[in-house]
Amino acid sequence: MSVGVPGNSAGRGTTFLIGLYMYKTCFLINAGGDPFRYKGCNAEDAVRVLFPEIKGYAQARALPDQESSTFSGSAELWFEDSSAAIAASVTGIAGLLTQGAEVQSCLAGMERVVVRTALYITADKIKGIYPFRKKPGLTMKEFQNYWWYTHGPIAALTEEALSYVQIHPRTNSYATENSVYDGITEISWLDIGAAGRAIGSRQMREDQGSDAANFVDLESISLFMAKEEVVIGP
């Protein structure tokens, strides 16, 4: 389903979209080694036992040698409705994790795709994951509207991005899930070199950085780079 939003004409698929599986539960896992017990088909079998109604599942493992990385990875689950996504945040994913790995924070809500290029579907890629809190004083509605309608078109110009996604939590999920964040941004690039060029670019440092101050608690941002394993394609 497409959603018309004031955007730009960069020619990189910058139309704002909401994906087919628009509800998503994200689990952020504590720092350490590889937090996931399974890979490939074994991971698919295990996650389907826990969540028979699941429509997509991906495991992201943090890249090594990151300074002050808070997390070792993230697990992302897609569902067709918000109630299933919120229920998953209560059920948890302990059965998918290795001994000692624990969920530090969980966020269930709507996945909003700002940019997704054709190369994203087929490329072997890395992902920057940015959990953060909203700027103090903003209501959740004010925060989400600004992030989507105002910041989204600016972020759509992220250099070399294969995908730029916003995860907006459902307000009713706060009563049931363990979340210390109000949103998660996910940006995919072809490799770490492309990510480094984008993060160091004027567009990201100045255009996005200055606008982020209008809706983000900048001290709350906790970036980590990860390699994604798509177990069930959403």
**197 vs 140: CA distance, rounded Å:** 32
Residue 64 corresponds to which amino acid?
P
Q: Domain segments of the chain: what residues? A: 23-232
Place of tokens 């996910």: 186
- 133-182 pLDDT, tens digit per residue, is 999 999 999 999 999 999 999 999 999 999 999 999 987 655 445 568 99
- 94-131 pLDDT, tens digit per residue, is 999 999 999 999 999 999 998 888 888 888 899 999 99
* Phi and psi torsions of 205, nearest 5°: -70, -40
**62 vs 60: CA distance, rounded Å:** 7
- 38-62 pLDDT, tens digit per residue, is 999 999 999 999 999 999 999 999 9
Fold of 23-232: Alpha-Beta Plaits (3.30.70)
**228 vs 126: CA distance, rounded Å:** 6
What is the DSSP code (8-state) at residue 135? Answer: P
Short-list 61, 68, 76, 66, CA closest to 21? 76
Estimate to the nearest angstrom the gap between the alpha carbon of 37 and the chain centroid.
21
CB count within 10 Å of CB 209 equals 13
Place of tokens 């394609």: 233
Is 60 within 8 Å of 226 (Cβ atoms)?
A: yes
pTM: predicted TM-score of the whole model, two decimal places: 0.88
